[in-house]
């Protein structure tokens, strides 16, 4: 007999959902994006699993390597995760020698993040198979077709973070 207070409540009431015409949903593109993402992250996932890291570690190493000296606040804004989630991942990366954390030059309370040589090498090792996959997918594309892909992806992203270079910078 379960102890009092440990029983789960019966069926929770579901939130009211909007009525949606399923003919208006682009299931083909949704599925293509799902499978593209699954395959895009598969190579880095395999590398990360060998060293006991996951996708959160990948994101931190990637963005810190792309913008050395970024603040913890900047990284939180980009990743849109809680401080608690970042703290755990960041501690593991610092303790493993992939990321360095230093006080800001003007404000000693500010924490700036830098990749170590090992962190930069890890970032490149994770990005290389992804870059090759992108190159293979865009093989034979004209510059206009590539620009269209970039435009599509920018429109899919809800915000344009400072880490992403503008077209003029690329």
Strands 111-115 and 99-103: antiparallel
Q: Model's pTM, two decimal places?
A: 0.80
Strands 99-103 and 70-71: unpaired
- Token pair 């954390």 in the structure block, residue: 101
pLDDT, tens only, 105-137 = 777 778 899 999 999 999 999 999 999 999 999
**pLDDT-based confidence at residue 21 (cuts at 50, 70, 90):** confident
Domain ranges of the chain: 26-128
Q: Phi first, then psi: what are they for 54, rounded to 5°?
A: -130, -165
Is residue 71 helix, strand or coil? strand
Confidence at residue 110, expressed as pLDDT on a 0 to 100 scale: 83
Q: Kindly tell me the burial class for residue 121, based on how many C-beta atoms sit within 10 Å of its own C-beta (0-12, 13-18, 19 or more).
A: middle
10, 16, 21, 26 alpha-carbon torsion, rounded to 10°: -80
**Residue 8 CA neighbour count, 13 Å, CB half:** 3
80 is written with which tokens?
A: 């849109």
Mean pLDDT of 56-68: 97
Q: Kindly tell me the burial class for residue 46, based on how many C-beta atoms sit within 10 Å of its own C-beta (0-12, 13-18, 19 or more).
A: exposed
Q: Phi first, then psi: what are they for 103, rounded to 5°?
A: -70, 150
Task: Check whether 1 has a pLDDT greater than 70.
Answer: no
- The CATH number of the domain covering residues in 26-128: 1.10.10.10
Which percentage of the chain shows pLDDT scores above 90? 72
């Amino acid at each position: 007999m379960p102890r009092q207070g440990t029983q789960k409540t019966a069926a929770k009431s579901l939130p009211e959902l909007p009525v949606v015409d399923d003919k208006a949903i682009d299931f083909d593109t949704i599925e293509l994006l799902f499978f593209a993402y699954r395959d895009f992250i598969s190579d880095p996932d395999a590398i990360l699993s060998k060293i006991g890291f996951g996708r959160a570690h990948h994101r931190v190493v990637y963005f810190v390597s792309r913008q050395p000296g970024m603040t913890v606040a900047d990284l939180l804004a980009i990743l849109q995760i809680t401080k608690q989630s970042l703290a755990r991942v960041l501690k593991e990366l610092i303790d493993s020698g992939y990321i360095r954390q230093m006080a800001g030059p003007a404000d000693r309370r500010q924490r700036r993040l830098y990749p170590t040589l090992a962190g930069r090498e890890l970032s490149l090792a994770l990005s290389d198979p992804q870059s090759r996959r992108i190159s293979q997918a865009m093989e034979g594309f004209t510059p206009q077709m590539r620009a269209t892909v970039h435009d599509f992806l920018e429109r899919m992203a809800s915000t344009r973070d400072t880490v992403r270079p503008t077209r003029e910078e690329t």
